[in-house]
Amino acid sequence: MIVLVLLASCYSPELVPCTVRCRLTFDCPSGMACSDDKFCHADSNEAMCPCIPLKCSDVPGACGHMDDTCGNFVECGGCTSPLECGGGGVPNQCGDPASCMPLACEPGACGMGTDSCGNPRTCPDCPQGKVCTNGQCVPCNPKCVMGSLACGDDSCGRSCGTCPDSRWTCVPSNGTGSPGVCCIRANQHCTPLTEGCNCCPGLFCESGFCVPAAGCDLVTGDETPHEYTGFDPIVFRDTGEIVLIE
């Protein structure tokens, strides 16, 4: 495999995947971007390339402590004063700190951080399926309760959903820190016909309000609809509750 690390103007438009190494997107030719595997890709759906350690000789004029893109570092040369390694804003390149030009956020960078000139910066949020950890987007599997009443954090930094209105609250589905389910708080109005089992645990919809009582399991909004034939008239006469009959 031939691996190229040259100026973008030298690239051929016919280059195939896994032939152009990069550290930042500006290393890539027009129409390509530097992906997480540190190769230039023309399409985000292209398969990731195998990791090939970067050597100092692969980057013309490389200096300082350089990431080999495979989890290790290599020590490259130094700079002649007043130039400093990375001083111009390009990592591992000699430059003048007096005219430093910061680079844009590199692929996979996220959240608050520091740019290549040492100034504060904020990079974009991670795409779905990734979470920002130590300034880098890393793969994450979202976890939400199934159904329209899902709420809380999906464990990847996004929301599973919001509750319908102020009567509702989000309670963990399986202990503190787990994704939640929306339920109606105590002494809040409820509609027996449509919200009878939406009261929070330990509550049941009686006379139009969620009150402490033995009731039914909390629903999530993903339950299979039942076919009902009507309601129990005796229960309705005695309690005012509509108890549906399947």
Q: Domain limits of the chain?
A: 150-245
**Cα(88)–Cα(117) distance, integer angstroms:** 7
Provide the whole-model pTM: 0.47
**Cα(182)–Cα(161) distance, integer angstroms:** 9
Helix and strand tally (H, E) in the chain?
2, 17
Strand partners, 94: 85
**Cα(124)–Cα(41) distance, integer angstroms:** 20
Beta strands in 173-235 (DSSP E): 180-184, 203-206, 209-212, 230-231
* Per-residue pLDDT tens listing for the chain (246 residues): 334 444 343 445 456 778 888 877 677 888 888 887 888 888 878 888 888 888 899 888 999 999 888 889 999 999 999 999 999 999 999 999 999 999 888 878 999 999 999 999 999 998 878 889 889 898 888 888 888 888 888 888 788 889 999 999 988 877 666 788 898 999 999 988 888 788 888 888 888 999 887 555 555 555 544 443 344 445 544 554 434 445
Alpha helices (H) along the chain = 192-195, 233-239
Q: Say if residues 87 and 94 touch (Cβ distance below 8 Å).
A: yes
pLDDT of residue 230: 41
Determine the Cα angle at 198 with ends 192 and 201, to 5°.
120
Tokens 């002649």 correspond to what residue?
Answer: 80
pLDDT of residue 163: 92
pLDDT of residue 206: 87
Return the structure tokens found at 46: 């292209």
pLDDT of residue 84: 95
| 7 contact partners, CB below 8 Å, separation of at least 6 | none
pLDDT of residue 214: 59
